[in-house]
Structure 1
Amino acid sequence: MKRVASNSDLRKIARRRVPKMFFDYVDGGAWTEATYRANADDLARIRLKQRVAVDVSRRSAKSTILGQNVSLPIGMSPTGLTGMVWPNGEIEVLKACEGAGIPYCLSTVSIASVEDVANAASAPFWFQVYMVRDRDFIEKLIRRVEAAGVNTLVLTLDLQMSGQRNKDIHNGLSSPPKPTLRNIANLATKPAWCLNMLRYRKMEFGNLYGHVSQVSSPKSLSKWTDEQFDPTLNWDDVKRLRERWKGKLVLKGILSPEDTGMAMDVGPDAIVVSNHGGRQLDGAPSTIEVLPNIVSTVAGRCEILIDGGFTSGQDVFKGLALGADGVMMGRALLYGLGAGGRKGVAKALAMIRHELETTMGLCGINSTAEIGPENLFHKA
């Protein structure tokens, strides 16, 4: 990867190496993908204020997130099906994140189980959970998470029902891939991926398969999953989880001041300003657009993380300048994973660090704590 200069380069390589259905799962959004595009477009429109003749020889991207010292003010977003982008993908990303000194968050719908990841981890990691209809399963899952030494639980709030993701429908997304002619033809063009997967042979949802009653096959598991989106989810459920969980709690999926106020009543350690990467409500605003109002509503009562369209160190700088304490990244690291496994993720993180520290220097900043709205040009 000597000639890889940007996240865009990693994306191109991943697109060549990862089967279409799994690349599109990572790369796509809901319906027309308007919100997916807005996330990146609105970040790109923000202008940075260059400063000169400032001593920036001491600049460092180090920061803290939820009391944890981090080498970069970012964390890995929970991403489903990571183990289908690259064999043992969740553990490959975990190890890259540990090597870079940033938090890793495992998704409920990961291929590797929480126990698999705990066995590979050298420090506590985060775990993301959905509040599904089967609350008995959720209680058992939380017990497993506690036993695995997880110290931070991330509750995703914006999946009461699944947004329509047209690419996934067209591709017939499933894990493992269904043996259709279209899938077989595409897999034939990805021989390295196929060979690696055959060696690993793990293609089921490790946190679900074997842990849900009356599920004995991939088909029955898929049916159970489709039935588990819970439109009855409400703030009382969130408060009960806050009482049940003794570790740090992060609420993910906040986009409005109204929901921010409700979240503050629960008492989270952090919220994530998130539109699910544009994968749920198409037509929702970008996360960077709503961030300032949410920062004002929180008023320092908890930490604020943000995701959605962040792919570079410059994007991270902009998020911090508008009031976020840290940025969660999913696609940016999964492109690295698809391009080259653990080394690809490490490459993505190294580029983000370089971009952030270079941007800090050109803006006259030595510390991430110094980054603020004064580093941006604002419209009159």
Structure 2
Amino acid sequence: MKIAQRMENLSPSVTMAITALGRELKAQGRDILSFSAGEPDFDTPEIIKLAAVNAVNAGHTKYTAVEGIVTTKQAIINKLKKDHGLEYNLEHIVISNGAKHSLFNLFQLLLDEGDEVIIPAPYWVTYPEQVKYSGGVPVFIDTDDSTEFKISAEQLKAAITPKTKAILLNTPSNPTGAVYTKKELTAIGKVLEGTDILVLSDEMYEKIIFDGKPFTAAASVSEDMYQRTVTINGLSKAVAMTGWRFGYIATPKIEIVKAMIKLQGQVTSNINSITQYAAIPALNGDADADIEKMRVEFEKRRNVAVKAINEIKGLSCVKPKGAFYLFINIKEITNNSVTFCEQLLEQEGVAVVPGLAFGMEGYFRFSFATDLESIEKGIARIKKFVEKN
């Protein structure tokens, strides 16, 4: 039997593979410290778990509308209005099985063969794979430490061609923690004025922001940006609900919403009903105190990790403004991130993700979504590895 050709162009997730390898080695009795997964180590807040239990007891265990129940969609609308001053209605929202599913739906319904999607690099591993699978062409704009891994309006302008369908922004970014400011987003919006180019803005880490800085939603910077932006978000990272699978889009473009409902209706239908009810208190702000506790702890861990990494000769990292990752520069040592990470895991039992997986050699991603003791122990092992090699 021959597998479809389109699968040949799809690469497996490196982050998932390294996480799985770390677990396998741990199961074999190795002392493995993993900093590879993009998953908070905190438990889901009690108020959300209680909402799920209440939903089960109330019999909310049946099919729902494909795009989600009205109460949950209204909670999304209220959240976007409260947090960013954005006005949406029920026709503008679709709930999917995590933001990854939302993105897959979008690429499937938007891209014809050869359509281009501009993606700043480094990027989350899934972005280019989904674009290619959908028949599109990922067009990368390289960044580096000097710009805190953010593209400029000038770079965007130079990358646009007649085939450009969308630009994909991720703020705060996985893997770098980069956060676009209002000024930067406004400049990007100015470049796009007069075009039909969409902005797909992945804002999954919006609640994990450091140093008292504000977060700016891409759709909020101008009326033009509002009209062209599809916001992608969810509850996995900020509310420690990775396994619940809750993602959503918000866009005033009704044709996108209708197409997504049609597509999702033939693939998964609705997301599970219990998660939809559990999401309501999270969206309404009832878990905000829990979210802030997690954010404060992430900031504390970031500060410790950045200081410790930058004290290791040959390594350096930009202090991230959000999310829970360090994107660590190893160019003084090697430009082969895969070999570096393989040897680090083999010799010192530390699992991290090579920069190559994110489209940028000479770096690796270190997740600080784990306890402080493990972070300090892990970085001590990284220091030992670097000095030894």
**Bigger RCO (CA 8 Å, 6+ sep):** 1
- Answer yes or no: same fold by TM over 0.5: no
Q: Which category describes the TM-score, using the shorter chain as reference length?
A: 0.3 to 0.5
